[in-house]
């Protein structure tokens, strides 16, 4: 579709959308195109600034889209972490001990969170105890 800025002989301005330039010419020649204000059939195109898509505009649109996607992903991640924390017992630095007790049936099965060193996590994984780190979110970094 082509958008033209149009004007009638009485200086009323308006826009028109046409499938082709020939479509505009045909509507003017047939008298089908008239001014919506005064109904004049003497219509002409006026100057208009073209809508040019520049690399900068594309970059800005991509940046906005990425920011929106990042914010959405961060919100989902925050919700997931909040749900895990709400449904788990925080055992602090006793995490490796409690994870082993649960794994070997010495304690009731339940969700737990806490702290463990890299070495402790490696040892738990080698024993077949599934553990996963919770991400540190921007608000949690303080």
pLDDT tens digits, 71-122 = 888 899 999 999 999 999 999 999 999 999 999 999 999 999 999 999 999 9
Q: Which pLDDT score, from 0 to 100, does residue 61 have?
A: 83
**Residue 90: CB atoms within 10 Å:** 11
43 CB-contact burial (10 Å; exposed 0-12 / middle 13-18 / buried 19+): buried
Number of Cβ within a 10 Å radius of residue 33: 20
* Integer CA distances (angstroms), 4 to 21, 27, 41, 47, in order: 9, 13, 16, 9
State CA 50 to chain mean position distance. 28
* 3-state class (DSSP) for residue 81: helix
What are 14-65's pLDDT values in tens digits?
999 998 889 999 999 999 999 999 999 999 998 776 666 677 888 888 888 8
pLDDT at 137 over 80: no
Distance CA 115, CA 93 (A): 5
Task: Compute CA 104 distance to the chain's CA centroid, rounded to the nearest angstrom.
Answer: 44
Model pTM? Answer: 0.50
């Amino acid at each position: 579709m082509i958008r033209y800025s149009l004007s009638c002989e009485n200086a009323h301005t308006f826009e028109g959308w046409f499938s082709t330039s020939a479509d505009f010419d045909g509507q003017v020649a047939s008298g089908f195109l008239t001014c919506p204000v005064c109904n004049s059939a003497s219509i002409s195109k006026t100057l208009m600034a073209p809508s040019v898509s520049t690399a900068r505009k594309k970059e800005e649109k991509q940046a906005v889209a990425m920011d929106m996607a990042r914010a959405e992903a961060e919100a989902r991640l925050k919700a997931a972490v909040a749900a895990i924390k709400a449904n788990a017992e925080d055992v602090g630095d006793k995490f490796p001990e409690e994870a082993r007790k649960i794994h070997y049936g010495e304690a009731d099965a339940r969700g737990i969170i806490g702290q463990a060193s890299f070495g402790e996590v490696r040892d738990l994984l080698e024993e077949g105890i599934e553990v996963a780190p919770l991400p540190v979110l921007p608000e949690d970094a303080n």
